[in-house]
Amino acid sequence: MLVGHNPASEIYVRHKIKACAELGIRSEKLTPPETISTDELLAVIEDLNRRPEIDGILVQMPLPKQIDSRRVLESVAADKDADGFHPINVGHLVAGRPAPRACTPAGVIELLKYYRIPMEGRRAVVLGRSDIVGKPMALMLIHENATVTVCHSKTPDLADECRRADILVAAIGKPEFVEADWIKPGAVVIDVGINRVDAGEGKTKLVGDVDYAAAKDVAGAITPVPGGVGAMTIVCLMHNTLIAACAQNGLPLPTAL
């Protein structure tokens, strides 16, 4: 569901629809007007909750300011929660039980596993405490036996905390906020940020939360923006949809990615 005409959201939704088509998943794009009220949007979601042929529901964030985003996300049936944001699924994550998981942090874990970057016993710092990335990221790293510190805007000596990290996950939403001297030499840097900034001559460009140009010479490994975590977010969204479809149709749950 895409409410309004946020240019970045339109791009993200387009990529998600493309991924569905490539995998043989039927997708349905709903575009309510930007002026829709919370109650009207809740009614649309309730209709989707009742439709047996719909296995997964995604509400593209951010929503317009007049919408109560928390009410909307919590209205999605937990067993159709393709984003992994419903409190029931967050509870399953806390308990280490199988359930749809927040896509971006799940994608980060898969990236680390794919490149055989050890997490067990490593010191991980998560920069950001959002419900969408920071908090679930910390929980997933804990499940991988990392020692995790969550930092945010109120953390004193933020740069010093980051310098202690073997694995640094930047998800604070500020363009190129993390400087090269915040990074321990050889550390793994995962940049979750997606920020559109002025590129001059009336153009814009996407940058992360890390000063990539400077940090790449210090880090042992680092993800670029664009072209890094974003692709894995979509992969994990598809995996969540498959989990939901199997659970609702009495099929064995798929194995890990």
CATH, residue 143? 3.40.50.720
Considering the domain architecture, whether residues 139 and 193 belong to the same structural domain is answered as yes
Q: Would residue 146 count as lying in a domain?
A: yes
Domain count, the chain: 2
CATH, residue 21? 3.40.50.10860
Token pair, residue 99, equals: 């359930």
The per-residue pLDDT for range 220-255, each reduced to its tens digit, is 999 999 889 988 999 999 999 998 999 888 888 777
Q: Would residue 257 count as lying in a domain?
A: no
Q: Do 79 and 197 form a contact (C-beta atoms < 8 A)?
A: no
Considering the domain architecture, whether residues 85 and 12 belong to the same structural domain is answered as yes
Give the other-Cβ count within 10 Å of 251's Cβ: 10
Considering the domain architecture, whether residues 128 and 81 belong to the same structural domain is answered as no
Q: Would residue 111 count as lying in a domain?
A: no
Q: Would residue 109 count as lying in a domain?
A: no
The per-residue pLDDT for range 54-70, each reduced to its tens digit, is 999 999 988 999 999 99
Q: Do 193 and 228 form a contact (C-beta atoms < 8 A)?
A: no
- Please say if 60 is a catalytic residue: yes
Which is catalytic among the residues 55, 83, 191, 211?
Answer: 83
Measure the CA–CA gap between 225 and 195, rounded to whole angstroms.
Answer: 9
Give the other-Cβ count within 10 Å of 250's Cβ: 6
Considering the domain architecture, whether residues 147 and 200 belong to the same structural domain is answered as yes
Instruction: Judge whether residue 208 has pLDDT over 70.
Output: yes
Q: Would residue 107 count as lying in a domain?
A: no
Beta 123-127 vs 167-170: how paired, if at all?
parallel
Considering the domain architecture, whether residues 121 and 184 belong to the same structural domain is answered as yes
**C-alpha of 242 from chain center:** 17
Q: Would residue 218 count as lying in a domain?
A: yes
Q: Do 105 and 133 form a contact (C-beta atoms < 8 A)?
A: yes
- Spatial neighbors of 110 by CB under 8 A, at least 6 apart, are 232, 235, 236, 257
Which is catalytic among the residues 60, 135, 184, 191?
Answer: 60
pTM of the complete model:
0.90
Residue 209 domain boundaries: 117-226
